[in-house]
């Protein structure tokens, strides 16, 4: 019996992790975010009602589930409080159930200013970040000049560190990025004004997780973004600034790796990417428009249109290798309904070589030409199907081929955004 399950995106994010986490909270007693920040966005549909979560773990929608934000997450206090207000306005009790590590790095207004000014300076070479300050906040953490959630409790200490950090960033903003510097007093006043509401949530998250595990409670570790956006293993430099692979769950949450029993890799039945960077199977034709329109492929955080393409087996193979995926969850199968032919990229041509694994770095990926296999599509709707046997035969064959190429078993197939629209082949906790 797997007790603790890590859920990760296996592509470039937006695979539908939120719904899967929500579905699994029938069994789990705690949900933990371990990396990323409010660049992530999960749109959940519960009983027909839409709810977007950016920082709060998806388990918050279940009364009896505790939610944790680990030390590896970068937290904008303003964004977190706004999200709590939205969720509480929808009638969901957050306070008392959301525990925020006192060692998480803060995203402050100068991180946002730096992120946006740098992107503007990069011009056509921009990464296409979400502009939320994620990269600059992680830089401060690595440079050991970050302000952390626990620093909100000590105004004098907060102010002293802020002055030191902001002196550097204001120099960069003014003299390198040609942008407006920020006023330290204003940043301190605005941020410390939020401290009173943040303080009750601060916790020793690793100790709470250890206590929960000692009680035998199953936990879910909810990844943000996707493995191909991982800062070390993804299509660098077109990546986010954290490790998004399953191994990061242990480091970012503060548990030992032996506490992670299974890894669920979420994969869309096709591929999307938002922001810049190489994307071998990207489509610029009618099919690409079909995927974007039917799949409603617009970012849940920034509203940007997502780039769309066919399923990419070499990219998934890399992801499975990086994450040690024990089971796959295929999402958005229904978006392929009605296409006369469906294609799967089985390999890349890279110069004179054929590759069955995504290479490292953006330049190498940019030179990959997809090799496709075609399969007949299906005209029947798969929306809301709950039994494998009720899927059209060609949809079953497509999924079987996908799993064969991935060399990983399918645990679940998601056939719609609602909790119940799920086919269970192997229960992830089994």
| 66 assigned to active site | no
The least CB distance from residue 37 to ligand IMP, in Å, is: 8
- The enclosing H or E element of 155 equals helix 155-171
Among 109, 128, 181, 247, binds ligand IMP (CB under 6 A): 128
The least CB distance from residue 322 to ligand IMP, in Å, is: 16
Q: How far is CA 239 from CA 132, 194, 244, in A?
A: 14, 31, 10
Q: How far is CA 349 from CA 144, 288, 367, in A?
A: 43, 21, 8
Q: Which residues contact 303 (CB under 8 A, 6 or more apart)?
A: none
Q: Which is nearer to ligand IMP, 60 or 395 (CB)?
A: 60
Q: Which stretch binds ligand IMP (CB under 6 A): 166-174, 187-195, 233-241, 393-401?
A: 233-241
| 42 assigned to active site | yes
The least CB distance from residue 245 to ligand IMP, in Å, is: 14
The least CB distance from residue 81 to ligand IMP, in Å, is: 20
CB burial string 287-303: b at 16+ within 10 A, e below: bbebbbebbebebbbbe
* Bridge partners, 53 (sequence order): 42
The least CB distance from residue 95 to ligand IMP, in Å, is: 26
Q: Which is nearer to ligand IMP, 186 or 304 (CB)?
A: 304
Token pair in block for residue 414: 């998601």
| 39 is a contact residue toward ligand IMP (CB under 6 A) | yes
Contact track, ligand IMP, 264-283, x by CB under 6 A: ----------xx--------
The residue at minimum Cβ distance from ligand IMP is: 275
- Residue 42: which of 18, 11, 73, 8 has the closest Cα? 18
| 224 is a contact residue toward ligand IMP (CB under 6 A) | yes
The least CB distance from residue 409 to ligand IMP, in Å, is: 25
| 331 is a contact residue toward ligand IMP (CB under 6 A) | no
Q: What distance in Å separates the CA atoms of residue 379 and residue 394, rounded to the nearest whole number?
A: 9
Catalytic-labelled residue, pool 22, 38, 42, 115 = 42
| 35 is a contact residue toward ligand IMP (CB under 6 A) | no
Q: What distance in Å separates the CA atoms of residue 253 and residue 275, rounded to the nearest whole number?
A: 27
The torsion region of residue 48 among left (phi > 0), alpha (psi -120 to 50) and beta comes to left
Q: Which is nearer to ligand IMP, 17 or 99 (CB)?
A: 17
| 72 is a contact residue toward ligand IMP (CB under 6 A) | no
User: Residues 124, 127, 128, 132: is their CA dihedral positive or negative?
Assistant: negative
User: Residues 32, 20, 228, 295: is their CA dihedral positive or negative?
Assistant: negative
Q: Which residues contact 242 (CB under 8 A, 6 or more apart)?
A: 35, 36, 72, 74, 134, 138, 225, 230, 231, 248, 252
Q: What distance in Å separates the CA atoms of residue 103 and residue 34, rounded to the nearest whole number?
A: 12
CB-CB contact of 11 with 319 (8 Å): yes
The least CB distance from residue 196 to ligand IMP, in Å, is: 29
Among 129, 212, 271, 323, binds ligand IMP (CB under 6 A): 129
- Residue 35: which of 78, 6, 60, 1 has the closest Cα? 6
- Residue 39: which of 136, 179, 182, 158 has the closest Cα? 136
Q: Which stretch binds ligand IMP (CB under 6 A): 66-74, 87-95, 144-152, 237-245?
A: 237-245
Q: Which residues contact 121 (CB under 8 A, 6 or more apart)?
A: 177, 178
The least CB distance from residue 79 to ligand IMP, in Å, is: 13
Q: Under rule CB under 6 A, how many of the chain's residues touch ligand IMP?
A: 21
| 16 is a contact residue toward ligand IMP (CB under 6 A) | no
| 13 is a contact residue toward ligand IMP (CB under 6 A) | yes
CB-CB contact of 170 with 131 (8 Å): no
| 225 is a contact residue toward ligand IMP (CB under 6 A) | yes
The least CB distance from residue 327 to ligand IMP, in Å, is: 22
Q: Which stretch binds ligand IMP (CB under 6 A): 62-70, 235-243, 345-353, 367-375?
A: 235-243
Among 28, 32, 229, 333, binds ligand IMP (CB under 6 A): 229
| 130 is a contact residue toward ligand IMP (CB under 6 A) | yes
Contact track, ligand IMP, 362-401, x by CB under 6 A: ----------------------------------------
Q: E-strand spans in 97-169?
A: 98-101, 105-106
Q: Which is nearer to ligand IMP, 12 or 158 (CB)?
A: 12
Residue 391, classed as helix, strand or coil, is coil
Among 43, 76, 101, 240, binds ligand IMP (CB under 6 A): 240
Which residues are designated catalytic?
Answer: 14, 42
Binding site for ligand IMP (CB under 6 A): 12-14, 39-41, 127-130, 132, 134-135, 224-225, 229, 238, 240-241, 274-275
């Amino acid at each position: 019996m797997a007790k603790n399950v890590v859920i990760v995106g296996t592509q470039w994010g937006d695979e539908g992790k939120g719904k899967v986490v929500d579905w699994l909270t029938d069994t789990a007693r705690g949900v933990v975010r371990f990396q990323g920040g409010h660049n992530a966005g999960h749109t959940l549909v519960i009983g027909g009602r839409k709810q977007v979560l950016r920082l709060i773990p998806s388990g918050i929608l279940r009364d009896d589930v505790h939610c944790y934000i680990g030390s590896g997450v970068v937290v904008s206090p303003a964004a977190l409080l706004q999200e709590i207000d939205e969720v509480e306005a929808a009638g969901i009790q957050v306070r008392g159930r959301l525990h925020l590590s006192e060692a998480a790095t803060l995203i402050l207004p100068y991180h946002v200013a730096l992120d946006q000014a740098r992107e503007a300076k990069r011009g056509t070479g921009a990464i296409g970040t979400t502009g939320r300050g994620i990269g600059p906040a992680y830089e401060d953490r690595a440079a050991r000049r970050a302000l952390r959630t626990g620093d909100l409790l000590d105004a004098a200490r907060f102010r002293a560190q802020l002055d030191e950090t902001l002196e550097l960033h204001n120099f960069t903003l003014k003299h390198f990025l040609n942008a407006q510097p920020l006023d330290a007093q204003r940043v301190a006043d605005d941020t410390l004004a939020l401290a009173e509401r943040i303080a009750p949530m601060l916790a020793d998250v690793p100790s709470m997780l250890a206590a929960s595990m000692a009680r035998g409670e199953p936990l879910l570790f909810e990844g943000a973004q996707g493995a191909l956006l991982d800062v070390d293993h993804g299509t660098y430099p077109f990546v986010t600034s954290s490790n998004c692979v399953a191994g990061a769950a242990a480091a970012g949450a503060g548990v030992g790796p032996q506490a992670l029993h299974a890894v669920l890799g979420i994969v869309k039945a096709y591929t999307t990417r938002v922001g810049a960077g190489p994307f071998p199977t990207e489509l610029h034709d009618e099919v690409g428009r079909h995927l974007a329109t039917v799949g409603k492929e617009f970012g849940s955080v920034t509203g940007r249109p997502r780039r769309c393409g066919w399923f990419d087996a070499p990219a998934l193979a890399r992801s499975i290798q990086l994450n040690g995926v024990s089971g796959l969850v295929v999402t958005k199968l229904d978006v392929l309904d009605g296409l006369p032919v469906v294609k799967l990229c089985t390999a890349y041509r890279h110069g004179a070589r054929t590759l069955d694994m995504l290479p490292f770095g953006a330049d190498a990926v940019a030179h990959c030409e997809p090799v496709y296999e075609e399969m007949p599509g299906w005209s029947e709707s798969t929306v809301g199907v709950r039994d494998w046997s009720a899927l059209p035969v060609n949809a079953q064959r497509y999924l079987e081929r996908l799993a064969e190429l991935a060399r990983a078993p399918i645990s679940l197939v998601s056939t719609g955004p609602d909790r119940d629209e799920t086919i269970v082949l192997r229960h992830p906790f089994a």
